[in-house]
Chains A and B, each alone.
Chain A
Amino acid sequence: MELARNPLRSLTAYLAEGIDGTLLAIALAIAALGLVTLYSASYDQPGRVASQATNLAVALGAMWLVARVPPQTLMRFALPAYLLGLLLLVAVASFGDVVNGARRWLHIGVTRFQPSEMMKLALPLMLAWYFHRREAGLRPLDFAVGAALLALPVLMIARQPDLGTAVLVAAAGFYVIFFAGVGWKPLAALGVLGLASLVPLWGLLHDYQRRRILMLLDPAQDPLGAGYHIIQSTIAVGSGGLTGKGWLRGTQTHLEFIPERHTDFVLAVFSEEFGLLGNCLLLVLYALLVGRGLMIAANAASFFARLLAGSIALMFFTYVFVNMGMVAGILPVVGVPLPFISYGGTALVTLFLGLGILMSVQRHRKLVQT
């Protein structure tokens, strides 16, 4: 009956059902800044903006679908998704495509797929589900199992090698363990252990990964290779100044000094053209996004939903921190995109799926006690 009276209105209501307006508004604001920046970065490759807009539409659709799935239903996907992810990682290791020297891609029919990307959500889902089942009495052993569930896919991804994704997946898993309430002492012990393991880990790194880290100390060492990225992106950021050089006016960008300017180094383009003020705006938007996510986690109805939402919110933070740190020259160059801004469809879909999960948690939150 309602439908007949005002069809347009009820359609809007139908579409908006379960969508968290605040989250969506923040994400869209960032994405809009992204398209503007991409327009400037891709002056010589028209079509990038349109194709990113298409990616955005697909990602929004994915978010909308997931937002309508209650957390209890999501829980049922945890184990299958995790196992499938592991299986695909094994498949990639045995017969994946090698691109840029890393074995990350799997051919499925006509398209290629990166199973490590899927783990970014599958691992927190799995861990949240595991801890949820054991909620009644979590023991140290449970955390050990959790750590093992985390280590397995992370090591496989690091071996591909894909350090950036490995860091993100490891972080997402770690946040679940942290929120599940692992004691501060084991946490501190883990931290010490982690630092100590850096020494043997150095030996396991690929030459190019080592070079990228050393490059932080002395970028001038290799002006044709990795050092070039850092030198040029730092100049772009620094020369942007307080207010930036203005949209489409970045010389570093337009004289092609910034490498990977559509993807991992897109922030250098943004910083050059919009300056410190632009960066502040971006930081505030990201802080709001993460803050909203953490709020949703705090009010979530179940243990599972809390862990999942908390982990996803902090995963957004990790993306931002690692990418911005890299462009600003304080973290090594690893392949982590700037969320909602970097060009690329797969990452965008993952991010919006994460938003969708947060929205679902928010919709089924605990009713406020009166």
Chain B
Amino acid sequence: MRPAELRDHERELYYFQLRIGFAGAVVLVAFALLFARFFYLQVVQHGRYASKAEDNRISIVPIAPNRGLILDRNGVVLARNYSAYTLEIFPAKVRDLERTIGELGAVVEVQAKDRSRFRKLLAETRSAESLPIRTRLSDEEVARFAANRYRFPGVEIKARLFRQYPLGATASHVLGHIGRISTRDRDRLEELGVEANYRGTDFIGKAGIEASYQHELHGTAGVEQVEIDAAGRGLRTLARTPAQPGNDVKLTLDVRLQQIAEDGFGERRGALVALEPQTGAVLAFVSRPGFDPNLFVDGIDPAHWDALNNSPDRPLNNRAIAGVYPPGSTFKPYMALAALELGKRTPRSTIHDPGYFVFGERRFRDSKPGGHGTVDLYKSIVVSSDTFYYQLANDLGIDAIAGFMQHFGFGARTGIDLEGEASGVLPSPQWKRKRFRLPEQQKWYPGETISIGIGQGYNAYTPAQLALAVATLANQGAMYRPHLVSQVENPRSGTRRSIGPELVKRVPLRAENVEFVLRAMAGVNREGTGARAFAGAQYTSGGKTGTAQVVGMKQNEKYDERRVSERLRDHALFIAFAPLESPRIALAVLVENSGFGARAAAPIARAVLDYYLLGKLPAAPVRPAPLEAAEDAASD
């Protein structure tokens, strides 16, 4: 036994060593192959490559394409480009950055904010790139630096294109802004496989249309072959494939209407979204406060950034699609429609409203003490009876409510062509199970259904969702995806691509039920809670006021009591459409912490409808003229 095993062992070892030998032979062959290749490149083809290297005084320089323009529906320019000189430093080629910057300060003006912006960029970007220490140099500064250039190796003057938003903060949450390409952006571009097209480009859309239509606006990079001397300096251009400019993007927005809507808010915070019901085109899109996107174009300086980022008003937050709010009584028309569709109420059935609704031990109070007396379905919308809807919610049950409301897009992203949309919350037992961990929190309590009926409780929707819902209602249940861009145009060839209406779905509804609810909403503006705001209107319209409680809001700014209480005030809401017969516009307005919807939100809707339907400007002073254009621009 033993000798056999030993022999076996030896045989195994023999085979192993055979394989080692085989592997060694493979290694040698592979290395010989590499040697052959090196021999071919370095000896046989040496002459060819040596002259290529000699000619490799040809540097391939990418040419950044011109970014496309953004225009409103009438062709008003909202974003454009201008060219200016910048002074840029290659951090990798400069030994002592601080000293160089200090010495540069003697030649051209370098302010503290320029330094801090430079330091911020330095921390954010890869070292191989050149970074601006000064932007928008004057001709005199260019000349002065050129004369002193020999003193500053690694510092260069470059002509760059800058983005400009001529109307300043107008529609800032639609346009968004551009910013320097960050390491993270680069990673994303590489992931998409388009990084080569971005060589030479410094800026990229960061928010709004600038971000969501980045690939349209960007264009195609060109290539320039430049002859360089032994030190790497450019001598002359040998060949050039020009860059293809990015496409111009035309919005559905009417910038005049937009300005009227924005002015309506004054200093108050809030959002407004106005849609064309038959197409989903966004006519006005407001989120207040806004910001001046021009601050971002050559790298925002830290002081401005902190001010924007830390403001309690959160001006960078796009409330229209990312803010979620309870809809309050603007929920009632849909509840009424649900009651009709599901056969829980008829137009003739009435209830008695004593001013409260008792459920178990709890008493849900109406906003009107003493109640509205005898209330039918029509009156329940016109006077906004809470008791009616407490009862209705209880009769329908949460599953029926949630099932019906999702038809109108509540609790789902609208699919608008902007990034960062929130989905909101359409409450249901199912949602609660998913949302919470603890079993007692996961349970749906019947009492919770009651306040859902008046748009409170867990209800939370974005203003864009509220606008889409009312547009869908006004359009007999046909829902069109909201979109801000109507057309993309190639500025060279003039080829246009229209982005047409996209039907999302047709909610199956009975026409007479929709008619009934729309007529009740017209009653709101004629004789109900919206009547004061719409007094004397020369067109028919429907509306619904809403007041949403700011629940469970905690505030840690204890020192300013006045402000705290202001932040805990109710939100004012209003949804509307006009004209009644064939609605051409539908909108939702939300004004944060402003109390009653009838008082704070409805007048804004009125101003928007007046202008859109009649071309009438509001009586209030028109906003100041737009920022003067390119006073500090184009030195060439």
Residues of A within 8 A of B (CB): 44-45, 98-101, 175, 178-179, 181, 206-208, 211, 222-225, 228, 232, 234-242, 251-252, 255-257, 271, 275-276, 279-280, 283, 286-287, 290-291, 294, 297-298, 306, 310, 313-314, 317, 321, 324-325, 328-330
Contact = CB atoms under 8 A, between A and B. Distances in A.
A276 B127 contact: no
B259 interface: no
Nearest to A100: B190
A256 B53 CA distance: 12
Nearest to A241: B46
Contacts of B195: 225
Given A239-B53, A294-B20, A321 B60 contact: no
B45 interface: yes
Contacts of B31: 283, 286-287, 321
Interface in B486-536: none
Interface of B: 12, 15-17, 19-20, 23-24, 27-28, 30-31, 34-35, 37-39, 41-43, 45-46, 48-50, 52-54, 56-57, 59-60, 62, 92-93, 127, 187-188, 190-191, 193, 195-197, 199, 221, 223, 228, 230, 232
A239 B52 CA distance: 8
B59 A255 contact: yes
Contacts of B27: 287, 290-291, 294, 314, 317
A221 to B, nearest CB: 11
B585 to A, nearest CB: 43
A222 B241 CA distance: 13
Contacts of B30: 317, 321
11 contacts: A179-B16, A179-B19, A181-B16, A211-B193, A222-B196, A223-B223, A238-B45, A238-B50, A238-B53, A241-B42, A283-B31
Nearest to B42: A276
Contact of B56 (A241, A257, A317, A321): A257
Given A290-B27, A294-B24, A242 B42 contact: yes
Q: Classify the secondary structure of A's interface with B.
A: helix
Given A101-B191, A238-B48, A297-B20, A276 B38 contact: yes
Contacts of B49: 234-235, 237-239
B46 A271 contact: no
Contact of B12 (A181, A242, A252): A181
Nearest to A314: B23
B608 to A, nearest CB: 43
B594 to A, nearest CB: 42
Given A181-B19, A206-B193, A240-B42, 13 more contacts: A100-B190, A101-B188, A224-B197, A224-B221, A236-B53, A237-B38, A238-B53, A239-B54, A276-B39, A276-B42, A283-B31, A287-B31, A294-B23
Contacts of A98: 187, 191
A74 to B, nearest CB: 19
A45 B95 CA distance: 10
A208 B35 contact: no
Contacts of B39: 276
A256 B41 contact: no
A290 B24 CA distance: 8
Nearest to A208: B193
B42 A275 contact: yes
Nearest to B44: A238
B35 A234 contact: no
B212 to A, nearest CB: 21
B540 to A, nearest CB: 54
Nearest to A328: B37
A252 B53 contact: yes
B272 to A, nearest CB: 37
A237 B42 contact: yes
Contacts of B187: 98-101
Nearest to B196: A225
Contacts of A279: 35, 38, 42
A219 B62 CA distance: 17
A256 B228 CA distance: 12
Contacts of A211: 193
Nearest to B57: A255
Nearest to A245: B53
A245 to B, nearest CB: 9
Contacts, number: 143
A327 to B, nearest CB: 10
A44 B16 contact: no
Nearest to B190: A101
A224 B45 contact: no
A223 B23 CA distance: 38
Contacts of B223: 223-224
Given A100-B190, A237-B41, A239-B52, A224 B196 contact: yes
Contacts of A234: 41, 49
8 closest A-B pairs by beta carbon, nearest first, are A238-B49, A239-B53, A101-B191, A225-B196, A238-B41, A276-B42, A101-B190, A224-B196
Contacts of B53: 235-236, 238-239, 251-252
Nearest to B61: A224
A282 to B, nearest CB: 10
B190 A238 contact: no
B9 to A, nearest CB: 10
B228 A255 contact: yes
A211 B190 CA distance: 13
A139 to B, nearest CB: 15
A99 B43 CA distance: 39
A358 to B, nearest CB: 14
Contact of B35 (A99, A223, A280, A317): A280
A216 B39 CA distance: 19
A8 B50 CA distance: 53
Contacts of A206: 193
A298 B56 contact: no
A287 B41 contact: no
A182 B255 CA distance: 75
A252 B56 contact: yes
A241 to B, nearest CB: 5
B16 to A, nearest CB: 6
Contacts of B197: 224
Contacts of A298: 16-17, 20
Contacts of A287: 27-28, 31
B184 to A, nearest CB: 9
Nearest to A283: B31
Given A241-B46, A255-B232, A310 B20 contact: yes
Contacts of A280: 35, 38
B547 to A, nearest CB: 43
B56 A207 contact: no
A238 to B, nearest CB: 3
Contacts of B127: 45
A208 B197 CA distance: 13
A297 B93 CA distance: 48
A11 B46 CA distance: 51
Nearest to B15: A181
A224 B62 contact: yes
A280 B31 CA distance: 10
A290 B28 CA distance: 10
Contacts of B54: 239
Contacts of B52: 235, 238-239
Contacts of A178: 19, 23
Nearest to B186: A100
Contacts of A222: 196
A185 to B, nearest CB: 15
Contacts of B59: 255, 257
A100 to B, nearest CB: 5
Contacts of B48: 238
A239 B50 contact: yes
Contact of A223 (B12, B24, B60, B232): B60
Contact of B37 (A232, A290, A294, A330): A330
Nearest to A324: B34
Nearest to A272: B53
B50 A310 contact: no
A351 to B, nearest CB: 17
